[in-house]
Structure 1
């Protein structure tokens, strides 16, 4: 979306006025936000006259990029999950509205209150002036994930999500195999890793709502600590350890490779937070399995992102560079699946 035309802005303001029961809404400023490889995010500063939200409102308008990946949720679906997370006490941007009427700006979009801080993984893992005490932040993130996992098939129904799998590990592996079969390219290390995952698959232990992209780079921090958990477009039912493994995986530690919890802290601090809220002890052997899977999944997503550049015609530097990342993941998969390393989490 290359900005909005004058007509688009007029329709958007009228739409927002109707939803907010306001006499009028005007756009003071609008600018594209950095990040967001799957979706587009726009900072939108509004002046609202009348109604319950009378005054100035700083928001983010979130809509689709020109191309996407197959497993990404729609904006309306993502908004529904964001609302459920907000209601469960997860620290997320306040969800304001979702519009599916394509006549407004030509795409579905959702609007949420803008929060302060940075989500840049490289900065969070290096710059000690943001995020506050790192062990405290790590423990806080453990608590946040536990609140997400309090949403289960027994407490919530989401018609747009696939039915909860009886065996999340088997279902996730089958999904990765389908993607690789459709790509029809030889990737021997990925084949090796799939075989390792099949042979070491853990027994199912229940299903929760998994964020599916809970990692450094997808939460925001300011000078004092956490301000929001972001990017819910991949969420779905799975094993709780899938999220835990994704957060701890080497591929998401950025410059903090020696800090296993997201490149910022210790496994122990994260476990304190998670176990304190959930009452469930983390099984580190299961987490190791899902860390191996995290590298497989990120390699497949990187291949899909590369196709958006090579095949889909979305010529952005970020997508082109991401398409070269699978080799890094393959090196880590080989390290983690060597016979003597089973369960030896870094």
Structure 2
């Protein structure tokens, strides 16, 4: 086995940090192997690695931490804080979810911010698929697809049932604040988007459909942020934009057309029906859920994703650093505007 797959300053410095933590958590004689950078973005870095403990047992792990910038001698000179909640808070939310019955990876330890690393948390690396298109296409997941909508509904209910007093401090937004925020973002670009503007008005005129519960909200509950095996849902990932708000927004978000990956006849993530999602939600202890509320929040979700695409496009055009990724996402603006209009037709 190889200690560091991703070579260079970042891998070497992180290896030393993880080696020290592995010895603390798993005992002296434990070693870090196969340290590999999986992704790096504006909000986080993701690394995969194994710990081999003193008995020879392999523990597969994933690290999520804030991105770092190094100077020429390898020291950290600038630490870019990620968007959303802190990495420590995200790890704590994952742990709370596990205690509440949400399928999540275990979180064995955290990294504190210091001269050698940014803040991060470590979770077990689970087997399974996260890419939405593969989940919907590959035969190995055919049986899983028949029960995923129910399982996702059940998991969402468990998230929303976590007592607010147990949750770390988060932002709080009601439907009016969310709509005002999207309206402000849309107004900040010098370009007309009549479909999105109509969607804002449609949602504003139908507040009564939104519901009025106030709970922990995952914030990015969708196909693409779950781990799926042949047996079904194995874990809910990416809690980094969690907040306090209307729980129906999670159920609507998983039904946004963009997260169906072309399988438009299956409104829940491209794999299931609203009835199954709601049945699972009720079985998990969820309250006051209805198809009408899910539809309202799926319209909201289409608008939200569309405004995010607009933001990416104009950041690419007007920002200091043009980005192929932002341009590719921004190009989907017309698609999301069309999706929204189909939902309200």
With normalisation by structure 1, the TM-score equals: 0.84
Select between 69-78 and 256-265 the one with higher mean Cα deviation.
69-78
Q: Secondary structure at the match of 1:41?
A: strand
Distance in 1 (CA, whole Å) between partners of 2:294 and 2:199 is 16
- Correspondence 1:6-25 to 2 at 5 A: 6-18=12-24, 20=25, 22-25=27-30
Uncovered stretches (5+) of structure 1, i.e. residues with no partner:
342-346
Picking from 77, 84, 106, the partner of 2:89 is: 77
Query: How far does residue 205 in structure 1 lie from its aligned partner after superposition?
Result: 1.9
What corresponds to 1:233 in structure 2?
240
Query: How far does residue 60 in structure 1 lie from its aligned partner after superposition?
Result: 0.4
Q: Secondary structure at the match of 2:284?
A: helix
- Correspondence 1:194-273 to 2 at 5 A: 194-202=200-208, 204-273=211-280
Distance in 1 (CA, whole Å) between partners of 2:50 and 2:225 is 22
What corresponds to 1:43 in structure 2?
48
Q: Deviations over 1:159-192 (max 9, x none)?
A: 2x12x44xx2112112222333444544333222
Q: Deviations over 1:24-67 (max 9, x none)?
A: 442210223369885332111112338xxx83210001123579
Uncovered stretches (5+) of structure 2, i.e. residues with no partner:
1-5, 69-78
Query: How far does residue 109 in structure 1 lie from its aligned partner after superposition?
Result: 1.6
Kept in 2: contact 1:256–1:263 (CA 8 A): yes
Residues 1:309 and 1:100: Cα distance change in structure 2 (over 3 Å) = farther
Query: How far does residue 335 in structure 1 lie from its aligned partner after superposition?
Result: 2.2
What corresponds to 2:62 in structure 1?
60
Query: How far does residue 336 in structure 1 lie from its aligned partner after superposition?
Result: 2.5
Residues 1:269 and 1:5: Cα distance change in structure 2 (over 3 Å) = closer
What corresponds to 2:31 in structure 1?
26
What corresponds to 1:294 in structure 2?
301
What corresponds to 1:344 in structure 2?
none
Residues 1:34 and 1:27: Cα distance change in structure 2 (over 3 Å) = same
What corresponds to 1:313 in structure 2?
321
Residues 1:251 and 1:90: Cα distance change in structure 2 (over 3 Å) = same
Kept in 2: contact 1:37–1:319 (CA 8 A): no
Q: Secondary structure at the match of 1:220?
A: strand
Q: Secondary structure at the match of 1:112?
A: strand
Aligned residues: 327
Residues 1:36 and 1:215: Cα distance change in structure 2 (over 3 Å) = farther
Picking from 285, 295, 306, the partner of 2:292 is: 285
With normalisation by structure 2, the TM-score equals: 0.85
What corresponds to 2:113 in structure 1?
101
Select between 191-200 and 29-38 the one with higher mean Cα deviation.
29-38
The RMSD of aligned alpha carbons is 2.8
Q: Deviations over 1:199-246 (max 9, x none)?
A: 112265221111111111110112222211111111111112111111
